[in-house]
Amino acid sequence: MKNISNNIILAMLLLIQLTISSCRKVFLDEDIANNPKENFEYLWNDIKNRYSYLDYKGLDWNAIHDEYNAQIHDGMSQEELFSVLANMMNELKDGHVNLTSPFNLSIYFPITLNSPENYDGRVVLENYLLRNPDQYYITGPIQNSIFDTLGVKIGYIRYRSFSDQLKPSDVNYVVSRFNDENVDGVIIDVRSNGGGAVSNVFTFINRFVDSTRLAYISQIKTGPGAEDFGDDEMVYIQPVGSQQFNKRTALLTNRGSYSATSLFTLAARSLPYFKSIGDSTGGGLGAPTAAELPNGWTYRFSVTRTLSPQNDNWENGIPPDVLIDLDPVAEAAGYDNIVERGIQYIITGE
Amino acid sequence: MCEQNFVIICNHYFMKINFQSINSALIPTLSGRLLLTVAFLSLCSISYGQTLKAPSHFNHHDFSRLKDSSGRKIKGNVYLNIGPVFMEQSYKDFIVSPNTYISNGFMIPLLKLGLEKRFPTYYGYLNMLAGTQHLNDAPGYYYSDDRTNLLTFRINTSRTWQVKDFIGQRLRWSVGYLVNAEYTHRFNEKFQNAAYAYDIWSNAGLSNRLEYKFKLKTGERFLFVNFRNPEHKFLIGWQLGIPLAGAITRPNYAGIRHFANGAFLDNLYREMNANLTFTSLHNFVMLQSQIELLAPLANYNTLRIAYQWQAFRYNNSLAKLQGVAGGIEVSLAFKIDGRKVIDR
């Protein structure tokens, strides 16, 4: 009798635990079916709910659903599905929008390809950075040089990518160097700098700031509604480091100046001694998130929006103070007329 | 996969009952959750009532009222518990993916460290469980994608008091409380600016415990083991907990970690505060269950083999999260007090 009760109790307790364990599917939803239709719908819905510029872009997202849904069918190849989804995403005309699969990556190219490049790296290196080879330094990710023009001493900074980690000591050194050499002005060349880490924006710009200033306003998506954004977050720049450079500074931009570089440009607009010269930046002022489709492909798009202190939304590009394209004749002669325009600003203040 | 196997066995071979449909019908709906809450609270109320109504019944085995030969009240025993937990964890974090991420948990066990109190009239524990594992979803395993690094840090404490004994005091039913705190983060570089997902929550609720002690004749050699004594006492226990209220914080709806101000840690703390949410059964349903076998060792220490299972659903449409964790614990409980061992 005792053994029987032992067994019954043990069996009951085991049974209870098994029953509890069987609740797994009560707590975990079934995965969405991995088929073209479900992947398409998941992506379309996520963009509809979380993309921060849908209204700004003036798109009828429902109409886009109908247009691309008609191209989805069972049995389509992975490549065909990728093409449809990527084309749908490219309707957003946004460089922060990508679809990544094991075999392909979608990029929206027209932001840069529909405009002149306005940058010739060889001309910049040969005729400006290396004008006085002894003065050419590579300090961390910053190429920098000092040269004289018409008796005016110019400091030149070329920063190729905000993805290149910028240490405070790198910028401190360059600014100290320019101050020690008593340069009259600085050219910061961020053309074709496609962006990177936002933290580098502040590491860089805060060494060129004279006082705390409002750089821009950021808003984050907080819900699926078109205007579901959180409170305005005021983003400031402020003097950091033992020295700052506060003289005339020409900021050179082109359509390839994107994302973090646009944030840098927007922050620089709040400094009265900065002048942006060249073409509009490419924009990309929203911070992108990333997520995954049921089939494992990842995608990204912007989930924040950034406004200037005057509430301008320049997601499609920040206009320069001086709009000027690279002159191919000057370029062929070894001159960059955008750089020359920057030198002119430093000399004349105009 | 372990639980799934249990489900299959349970559903198709032993029980012939579809538990999932029963539970699906009961728990996810508001009325189901209310019913479950009412039923559980009723059970606890009845238990409490039973305690009040039957003092004489308890007197003869209420050790807390007994004195030893020197007149001191008999206390219980305290054990230090340490050992690995071979746990499989599953997550669905809808901020970054609709897919279930499952750990290959049997590769990297979590470490459990705990204090266990076995007193004449109550049982209590304070456990810490920590470790890292790797997760991936089915497409991720297929494509050999970057794995998610999962960090788990969990603290559970509970105390249950004796309500009633059955079967000649061999089966004991006790009821009490539990308190949980958990920090989990999942890092996957493939999600770029959404690579860092976390959930931090704490909650408290009710706990229900059944303990059954039994003896095994061990006078003969068993495999390669020669037992010293002719019989050994074992104890099997099952504890079920349902948290009722607490708080949770999750990443923002957008899921991002780097904002336009470039201040990572400040943003992280700000988001944790901004997304702190009160939870109760309307938005956070959780179940904890554990079945354990305690076997005697020398020097009054104990071998503990347990199957732990925990599941939750955070039903916030903006940051929905679901998780299930189940695993086998094999640990040693070292008696760390100098008192005589009580029967329980």
Residue A287 forms contact with B (CB below 8 Å): yes
Task: Pick the closest to residue A160 from A206, A124, A132, A109 (CA basis).
Answer: A124
Can you list the domains of chain A with their CATH numbers?
A: 36-108 (no CATH), 121-286+304-348 (3.90.226.10)
User: Measured between CB atoms, does B96 come within 8 Å of chain A?
Assistant: yes
In chain A, the N- to C-terminal Cα span, in Å, equals 104
Q: How far is A300 from chain B (nearest CA, A)?
A: 8
Q: Strand, coil or helix: what is B260? A: coil
pLDDT, one tens digit per residue, over B70-83 is: 666 667 889 999 99
For chain A positions 23-62, those within 8 Å of chain B (CB to CB) are: 23-29, 31-32, 34, 42, 50
By Cβ distance, the residue of B7, B140, B274 closest to A24 is B7
Identify which of B14, B92, B193 has the shortest CB distance to residue A288: B193
B261 and A18: CB-CB below 8 Å?
A: no
- CB count within 10 Å of CB A198 equals 24
Beta strands in A7-151 (DSSP E): 98-100, 105-106, 137-139, 142-149
Pairing of strands A185-189, A298-302: unpaired
- Closest residue on chain B to A290 (Cα): B191
- Residue A185, token pair as written in the block: 């002005």
How many residues make up chain A in this entry?
Answer: 350
DSSP structure string for A227-294: T-B---EEEEE---SS----SEEEEEE-TT-BTHHHHHHHHHTTSTTEEEEES---B--SPEEEEE-T
User: Which one-letter amino acid corresponds to residue B107?
Assistant: M
Decide if B19 and A216 are in contact by the 8 Å CB cutoff. no
Q: Indicate the range of A83-97, B55-69, B201-215, B319-333 predicted with least confidence.
A: B55-69
How far is the C-alpha of A145 from the C-alpha of A187, rounded, in Å?
Answer: 10
b/e map of B247-274 (b: 16 or more CB within 10 Å)? ebbbbbbbbbbbbbbbbeeebeeebeee
Contacts of A291 in chain B (CB under 8 A): 95-97, 191, 194, 255
The answer to whether B102 faces chain A, any CB pair under 8 Å, is: no
CB-CB neighbors (< 8 A) of A6 in chain B: 214
**What is the per-residue pLDDT across B122-180, written as a single tens digit (0 to 9) for each?**
999 999 999 999 999 988 888 877 889 999 999 999 999 999 988 877 889 999 999 99
What domains sit in chain B, N to C, each tagged with a CATH number? 70-335 (2.40.128.100)
* Closest to A99 in 3D by CA, of A91, A107, A53: A107
Which residue of A102, A200, A235 is in closest CB contact with B260?
A235
Q: How far apart are the CA of A104 and the nearest CA of chain B, in angstroms?
A: 13
Which residues in chain A are contacts of B263 at CB distance < 8 A? 199
In three-state secondary structure terms, B273 is: helix
Does A70 lie at the interface with B, CB-CB under 8 angstroms?
Answer: no
State the smallest CA–CA distance between residue A70 and chain B in angstroms: 24
CB atoms within 10 A of CB A202: 25
Instruction: Say if the Cβ atoms of B254 and A303 lie within 8 Å.
Output: yes
Residues 6 or more apart from A202 whose CB is under 8 A from it?
A237, A240, B261, B262
Q: What is the pLDDT of residue B90?
A: 93
User: Mean pLDDT per 10-residue run, chain A (350 residues)?
Assistant: 64 74 84 96 97 94 97 96 98 96 95 93 95 96 95 96 95 97 97 95 96 96 93 95 95 97 97 97 96 96 97 96 96 96 95
User: Angle at the Cα of A284 (from A280 to A287), degrees rounded to 5?
Assistant: 155
Predicted local distance difference test score (pLDDT) of residue B150: 92
Which residues 20-79 of chain B have a CB within 8 Å of chain A? 20, 23-24, 27-28
Alpha-carbon distance B73 to nearest alpha carbon in chain A (angstroms): 32
Q: Report the relative pairing of strands A213-220 and A304-307 from DSSP bridges.
A: antiparallel
What is the complex's ipTM, to 2 decimals?
Answer: 0.87
Do the bridges between strand B196-217 and strand A322-323 make them parallel or antiparallel, or are there none, so unpaired? unpaired
